[in-house]
Chain A
Amino acid sequence: MNVATPQRQRGFTIIELMIATGIFLVICGAMFGLLQLSQQKYSSETQLSGAFQETRLAIDQIVRDFNVSGYPARSLFSALPPDSSQYTFSPVAWSPNYAVSSCFVGTAGGGTCVTPGDFDLIVEANLGNGAGVSWIRYQLVGTTLFRAVVPKTAGADPVAATSAAGVMVPFLTNVMNNPSAAQLALIVANYPGMFPGGVPQPIFKYTCDTSAGLLSCPLAGNDGIPANIRDVDVALIVMTRQPDMQTQQLKLVELSGRGRRVNPSK
Chain B
Amino acid sequence: MKSRAEFEKVRRQRGAALLIAIFALLLISVVAIALIVSSGTETSLASNYRTSTSAYYGSLAGLEEGRGRLLPTSLNYIPLPANPMPLTQVIYITNPVGAEIVAPDDTANPTTYPDTQYKQEFGVDVTTRIVTKYTSVSPVAGLPGPAYKWVRINAVTEKSLGNGGGGVDVNNDGDVDPFTPLFYDPANRTPGGAMSPGLVETPTPPATALQALEITSFAVLPNGSEKMLQYVVQPLVEFPNLAGQGFTAALTLAGNNVQYTGPGTNSFFINGQDQCNPAGPMVTAIGYTVTSGSDSSSGNIAAGAVPVANYLGAPLTTGPPPGPSTGSIAFLNTMNGNWLTPTGLDAVVQDITNNADSVITGPATPGSFPSGMSATHPMTIVVNGDLDLNGWHNTGYGLLLVTGTLHYDPDATWEGGVLVIGQGNFVSTKSGTGGIDGAVFIAKTRDGSGNLLANLGASSFSQTGPGGVNSNVGRGINYNSCWLKSAMGPITYKVIAFKEIPLAN
Which chain B residue lies CB-closest to A263?
B498
B300 within 8 A of partner (CB): no
Segment at the B interface, from A44-52, A175-183, A190-198: A44-52
Which chain A residue lies CB-closest to B212?
A76
With contacts A24-B20, A68-B498 taken as known, whether A211 is within 8 angstroms of B185 at the C-beta atoms is: no
Report the count of interface residues on A (CB-CB < 8 A): 48
| Distance to closest chain B CB from A189 (angstroms) | 27
- Taking CB atoms, residues of chain B closer than 8 Å to A80 are 172
Report the count of interface residues on B (CB-CB < 8 A): 56
B168 within 8 A of partner (CB): yes
- Digitize A6-19: 1 where CB-to-B-CB distance is under 8 Å, 0 elsewhere: 11000000000000
| Distance to closest chain A CB from B274 (angstroms) | 30
A68 to B60, CA, bound (A): 12
A71 and B163 within 8 A (CB): yes
| Distance to closest chain A CB from B22 (angstroms) | 13
B499 and A71 within 8 A (CB): yes
A41 to B48, CA, bound (A): 24
B31 and A35 within 8 A (CB): yes
B3 and A75 within 8 A (CB): no
Segment at the A interface, from B33-41, B248-256, B425-433: B33-41
With contacts A7-B3, A45-B38, A211-B346 taken as known, whether A38 is within 8 angstroms of B161 at the C-beta atoms is: no
- Digitize A65-103: 1 where CB-to-B-CB distance is under 8 Å, 0 elsewhere: 001100111011111111000110000000000000000
- Taking CB atoms, residues of chain B closer than 8 Å to A57 are 49
Q: List 20 other contacts, CB 8 Å, given A56-B45, A76-B199, A86-B168.
A: A34-B31, A35-B30, A42-B38, A49-B41, A49-B45, A64-B500, A71-B498, A72-B497, A75-B496, A77-B199, A78-B171, A78-B201, A79-B170, A80-B172, A126-B164, A126-B165, A126-B499, A129-B502, A132-B166, A263-B496
B45 and A79 within 8 A (CB): no
With contacts A6-B5, A39-B34, A67-B500 taken as known, whether A72 is within 8 angstroms of B168 at the C-beta atoms is: yes
- Taking CB atoms, residues of chain B closer than 8 Å to A31 are 24, 27-28
Q: Count A-B pairs with CB separation below 8 Å.
A: 139
Q: Which A residues are within 8 Å of any B CB, using their own CB?
A: 4, 6-7, 24, 27, 31-32, 34-35, 38-39, 41-42, 45-46, 49, 52-53, 56-57, 60, 64, 67-68, 71-73, 75-82, 86-87, 126-132, 211, 262-264
Instruction: Give B1-55 interface residues, CB cut-off 8 Å to A.
Output: 3-6, 20, 24, 27-28, 30-31, 34-35, 37-38, 41-42, 45-46, 48-49, 52-53
A81 and B172 within 8 A (CB): yes
A46 to B171, CA, bound (A): 55
- Taking CB atoms, residues of chain A closer than 8 Å to B48 are 53, 56
B471 within 8 A of partner (CB): no
B496 and A73 within 8 A (CB): yes
B169 within 8 A of partner (CB): yes
With contacts A4-B3, A64-B500, A211-B346 taken as known, whether A262 is within 8 angstroms of B163 at the C-beta atoms is: no
Q: 9 pairs across A/B with beta carbons < 8 Å?
A: A6-B5, A45-B42, A53-B45, A64-B56, A73-B496, A76-B232, A82-B172, A126-B164, A263-B498
- Taking CB atoms, residues of chain A closer than 8 Å to B28 are 31
B97 within 8 A of partner (CB): no
